[in-house]
Amino acid sequence: MIHIVHNAGDVDVLTKAIELDETLAGEVIQVKDDFAVGPIKNLDTEEGWNARLDYWRGLLSGSPYGTEGVGSFDDREMVKELKKKLEENPEEQVWIWMGQNQHDVTSYYWLMPQLREYQGRVMILYMNNLPFINEKGQLFYPSWLQEIQPKEFMKAKKLARPITLSEYEVDPDEWRKLMEENAPVRMLEGGKKIVGKDERFYDSEILKNITPEWQKATRALSNTLHRMKIKTGDVFLMWRMKELVAAGKIEVMGDITKGWKDFDVRLPGKKNENSVAEEVSAN
């Protein structure tokens, strides 16, 4: 079998699960893009795909990742290789794993219409409102595959079922609607329902972690990623932080056009030391 996941952390945890359970043995492949944010209009065309690459170049500018990686991978090529393997081996199956989050579900919507001709050989495993046991022995409901202990995948594999003909009819229509809407942010509202949101959707989460005192932008970013309930990527969040600086909702010290570590941030309204000293002298 060939396993499809949507995050680097999922690759690691599923690889460990395979080491524990040989019935899961197979190649693990990752869909690397994050279709929950950014432009997806006409993504099935070269023009639409290039527009998405330009979007990521803009967000990655000044990031630790650099812009050189944009275009270094192409999920479309991954799909071509996948289909080639299915053609060469008629017994091969694909297992698409999904956590209950917008990142995995939008990735599924992009992927599954391209595998329609292999109906019956493409399985889906969706961890939708399912309880698992964490490392402390407590019951919890994971949003991401990487939150599940490797040994718990022995239970998860029982969820595997073929994508139905009905889903192959309905879900591609859902993906086309999302492409046409082309919202900057996409959220999961339950089941497989994805809804579009404004690009400012995560701004409140960022502002919660900006203090009146100066702190490194990377620290504010780390705190936001750690504390927010609905997760998104660090690249998107840092872009929004810079947009909030441009809007005057966050003050900045340092060069925001350089690397993420080159500037500090704080909430506006705090008087600097020189201003305070001038007021004291005047009185």
Tens of pLDDT, residue by residue over 102-125, are 999 999 999 999 999 999 999 999
Residues 166 and 234 in one domain: no
Rounded percentage of the chain residues whose pLDDT exceeds 70: 94
Residues 7 and 103 in one domain: yes
pLDDT score of 213:
97
Residues 13 and 147 in one domain: yes
Residues 172 and 214 in one domain: no
Distance (Å, whole) CA 95 – CA 161: 9
| Residue range(s) defining the domain that contains residue 116 | 2-178
Listed range (54-68, 221-235, 259-273) with the worst mean pLDDT: 259-273
Q: Is residue 245 part of a domain?
A: yes
From 162, 178, 194, the end of a domain falls on: 178
Kind and range of the H or E element at 215? strand 215-216
3-state SS assignment for residue 3: strand
Distance (Å, whole) CA 138 – CA 133: 5
Residues 150 and 18 in one domain: yes
Residues 261 and 146 in one domain: no
Q: Is residue 194 part of a domain?
A: no
Q: Is residue 157 part of a domain?
A: yes
Q: Is residue 75 part of a domain?
A: yes
Residue 66's pLDDT band (boundaries 50, 70, 90)? confident
Q: Which CATH number fits the domain that encloses residue 84?
A: 3.40.1360.10
Residues 259 and 173 in one domain: no
Q: What is the pLDDT of residues 68-81, one digit of tens each?
A: 767 667 899 999 99
Q: Is residue 7 part of a domain?
A: yes
* Mean pLDDT (the chain, rounded): 92
Number of structural domains in the chain: 2
Q: Is residue 158 part of a domain?
A: yes
Listed range (31-35, 129-133, 191-195) with the worst mean pLDDT: 129-133
pLDDT score of 270:
61
Q: Which CATH number fits the domain that encloses residue 247?
A: 1.10.10
Residue 73: other Cβ atoms inside 10 A: 12
pLDDT for residue 34 is more than 50: yes
What HEC string does the chain produce? CEEEECCHHHHHHHHHHHHHCHHHCCEEEECCCCCCECCCCCCCCHHHHHHHHHHHHHHHCCCCCCCCCCCCCCHHHHHHHHHHHHHHCCCCCEEEEECCCHHHHHHHHHHHHHHHHHCCCEEEEECCCCCEECCCCCEECCCCHHHCCHHHHHHHHHHCEECCHHHHHHHHHHHHHHHHHCCCEEEECCCCCEEEECCCCCHHHHHHCCCCCCEEHHHHHHHHHHHCCCCCCHHHHHHHHHHHHHCCCCEEEECCCCCHHHEEEECCCCCCHHHHHHHHHHC
Residues 150 and 263 in one domain: no
Q: Is residue 36 part of a domain?
A: yes
